[in-house]
Amino acid sequence: MCQAPAAQTAASGAEANARRNAEGSAAKAALLHAIAQLKRDPAHYLGFVEIHIEQGPVLHALNLPLGVVSAINASVRLSGEVIGTPSHAGTTPMHQRLDAACTVAEFMLALEARAAQDADSVATVGQLVVPGGSVNVVPGRCQFSVDLRAPSNAQRDRLLADAQVQLHHICQRRQVRYTLQETLRASAAPSAPAWQARWESAVAALGLPVQVLPSGAGHDAMKLHTVLPQAMLFVRGQNAGISHNPLESTTSCDMQLAIDAFSHLLHQLTQPTP
């Protein structure tokens, strides 16, 4: 079997990588150029409205097909790790353990209780990892995520500050160390009053009760909020409003009501301003 010299093979590989990098750079530049060409002038638009399934249980619990969004909640995400001491699960007395996982568990419960003190604040630890964990070893490390959301930036920031204090005190009492790093922050996006009023009027025109509620989930309107007045309409979700789950759904009847409400909103825009 013939074999190419090593130097020639290395050169061919380097040339292929260089070609792929060049093609990738060209494609990226073309994509960025195309996106820039799509940019629109906000001055040419009256506002931005969005219809979305609620992704929550409120409308389902109230037996209402539609809800008007008052604001998209502010949020902050963090990545943390508690560092204790791994030790034998059978020989380490309970009062001598520096258990990283138990520390995070205590913090999770404290965070749950703190968020429950606020109206519409939520706190979630959705990821837990014990690196190198074993059934017979006291966890020496525990990594975790934190997701905090609230209707306003100020309420979110108070929740965050209290969470940081709680974690510090728990780790200090348990004699373990920790790190906590912010990974994402998004400001609240309150609905523009005039556009929220249009949605409320449209829902009322259908003979439905007007239910106003905040959005705990992020949406496109959250980004458009920085350049345009915006407001959202929620459609009731089925199965107790469950979301991020295969059971998430809504009905054709509720979607038709959302379409009818949107038609009413558009009709309002054709009327003379009072």
Q: Is residue 161 part of a domain?
A: yes
Contact 151, 166 (CB under 8 A): no
Residue of higher predicted confidence among 43 and 124: 124
Percent of the chain scoring above 70 in pLDDT = 89
- Is 215's pLDDT higher than 60? yes
161 and 133 share a domain? Answer: yes
Please report whether residue 79 resides in a domain. Answer: yes
**Claim to verify: residue 202 and residue 182 sit in the same structural domain:** no
DSSP 21: H
Within a domain: 2: no
C-beta separation of 196 from 70 below 8 A = yes
- How far is residue 53 from each of residues 57, 192, 235, 242, 257, measured CA to CA in Å? 11, 20, 5, 10, 12
| Domain total in the chain | 2
Residue 7's pLDDT band, with cuts at 50, 70 and 90, is low
Do 179 and 264 lie in a common domain? no
pLDDT at residue 5, as a whole number: 54
Is 29 within a domain?
Answer: no
Does some domain include residue 34? no
Residue 156 has pLDDT above 90, yes or no: yes
* 82 & 141 share domain: yes
- pLDDT of 69-111, one tens digit each? 998 889 999 999 999 999 999 999 999 999 999 999 999 999 9
Domain boundary among 151, 186, 221: 186
Q: Which of 156, 186, 216 is the last residue of a domain?
A: 186
Q: Are residues 65 and 119 in the same domain?
A: no
State whether 61 and 195 are in the same domain: yes
Residue 176, pLDDT > 90, answer yes
The CATH number assigned to the domain holding 142 equals 3.30.70.360
Q: Do residues 181 and 241 share a domain?
A: no
The backbone torsions φ and ψ at residue 54, rounded to the nearest 5 degrees and listed phi first, read -65, -35
Judge if 174 and 240 occupy the same domain.
no
Nearest to 233 by CA among 254, 263, 253, 258: 258
182 lies in the same domain as 204 = no
57 and 141 inside one domain: no
Q: Are strands 141-150 and 128-129 parallel, antiparallel or unpaired?
A: antiparallel
- CATH code where residue 48 lies: 3.40.630.10
Q: By residue range, what is the domain housing residue 168? A: 74-186
Highest average pLDDT, of 29-38, 153-162, 234-243, comes from 153-162
Phi, psi of 134 (to 5 degrees): -140, 155
Q: Which residues contact 21 (CB under 8 A, 6 or more apart)?
A: none
Give the domain-ending residue among 147, 162, 186: 186
Residue 228 and residue 138 share a domain = no
